[in-house]
Structure 1
Amino acid sequence: MIYLTPFNQEHFSVLKTWINETSSEEMIRWSGTTFTFPLTDRQLLEYNSEKDARIYMAMDENHIPCGHAALRKIDFSHRSARIGKLFVEPSFRGQGYTPIILHKLLCIAFEELHLHRVALGVFNNNIRAKRIYEQFGFKVEGVLRDYRFVEGTFWSLTEMSILKPEFTNTLRNL
């Protein structure tokens, strides 16, 4: 059983350890341009103070942090938001945690916040994540070609979104 709990300062050291033990390339894959490597408390304080966001730490059944995710740019007027910063701690990867965290985020977006549209951006070299988003019913809206120059290589970014009726239909098929 995985649950989401609001991200707070007590979680900063855990997230910094996860990210700072990877690489600047992994950090960009996770955060785009939001953060600079290495991740610091100052960056996380600013991030955690966003007024239009719901930021979470994912916890396993033993209350051990296993992931992180956020709904950002929540716009109640237009009933939309963006998923960002979805990260599963490396030792928990490959065990089905990403779909569970994604499902919980989408339930918050569509059932609790009553949003209509949720979007995200995924780098094209993150094939596993893109496949999971497609399984949930996300549709490709476009590709930003050669969007970021990372470690000597251009990365393209695929923009995707899901609407509430599409999510409801996907739930029936999962």
Structure 2
Amino acid sequence: MFENKIIKLRKLSTNDYSTYHNWRNDIEVMKTTSPQLDIYTLEETEQFISVIASQANAKGYMIEHKESGQTVGIVSLINIDYKNRSAECILDIGARDMWGKGIGTSAMSLILGFAFYELNLHRVYLQVFSFNERAIKLYEKMGFTHDGKFREAIYRDGRWHDTVIMSILKKEYLNKEQSDL
């Protein structure tokens, strides 16, 4: 369930702070995913990871590339609302040398399977910056639809950009999965 041909997911632990710290302080990595571009101390990152790893309404997983054994990113379901069966998905590929190698598609496939089959969620949603065209194409390919946007919500590279809201429902995921067979 938590691996495929390319990657395997393992539960995020408080010991992952040093790996995440390198990505969190890489402006090139964070400019497409984080609203706050800043430099963080190791202690700040350790505290951040401790909070994520201990939240009852979140499931965080480190992404490991099977061939190299390298930890390459993180995928999480956060803000899990068990009553309304909904969660927000976050994906970061922190190892830049692994960009464009199918890691994001593989991770989204695993986390959506987990969300819909194991957690029995009805809806998974995400937020993505409008200039992150590669991520938007990935999410569309996975079956996400555009729900709307927060207009000019992020300021990057001297310009205002929208934050795009996308979601996928369980029935859409199951239909897409059947059509991909």
TM-score normalised by length of structure 1? 0.89
Partner of 2:90: 84
Go from structure 1 to structure 2 and tell me whether the alpha carbon gap of 1:60 and 1:41 turns closer, same or farther (over 3 Å shift): same
SS in 2 for 1:29: coil
Give the Cα separation in 2 of the matches to 1:36 and 1:45.
19
- Counterpart of 1:127? 133
SS of 1:86's partner is strand
Q: CA RMSD in A?
A: 1.9
Unaligned 5+ segments in structure 1 are none
Match of 2:47 in 1: 42
Query: CA separation in 1, counterparts of 2:65 and 2:153?
Result: 34
Residue 70 of structure 1 corresponds to 76
Provide Cα deviations, 1:97-121, integer angstroms capped at 9, x if missing partner.
Answer: 1000000010110001000100001
The whole-number CA distance in structure 2 between the counterparts of 1:58 and 1:135 is: 20
Q: Are residues 1:141 and 2:143 paired?
A: no
For the pair 1:8 / 2:27, whether they are aligned, the reply is no
Deviations 1:38-61 (A, max 9, x none): 262122222322221000101122
Instruction: Provide the C-alpha distance between the structure 1 equivalents of 2:75 and 2:136, rounded to a whole number of angstroms.
Output: 16
Aligned twin of 1:27: 30
SS at match of 1:149: strand
> What SS does the aligned partner of 2:33 have?
helix
Provide TM-score, normalisation by structure 2: 0.86
Q: Alignment partner of 1:59: what SS? A: strand
For residues 71 and 29 of structure 2, the distance between their equivalents in structure 1, rounded to whole angstroms, comes to 19
Decide whether the 8 Å contact of 1:88 with 1:98 is kept in 2. no
Aligned-partner Cα distance in 1 for 2:169–2:19: 33
| More displaced stretch, 136-145 vs 88-97 | 88-97
Q: Any conservation in 1 of the 2:128–2:165 contact (CA below 8 Å)?
A: yes
- Tell me, in whole angstroms, the C-alpha distance in 2 between the residues paired with 1:64 and 1:43: 22
Q: Deviations over 1:7-47 (max 9, x none)?
A: 11221111111231x21x742532335x8532621222223
Which amino acid is 2:40 matched to?
P
Percent identity over the alignment?
A: 30
Pairs aligned (count) = 171
- Aligned residue type for 2:141: Q
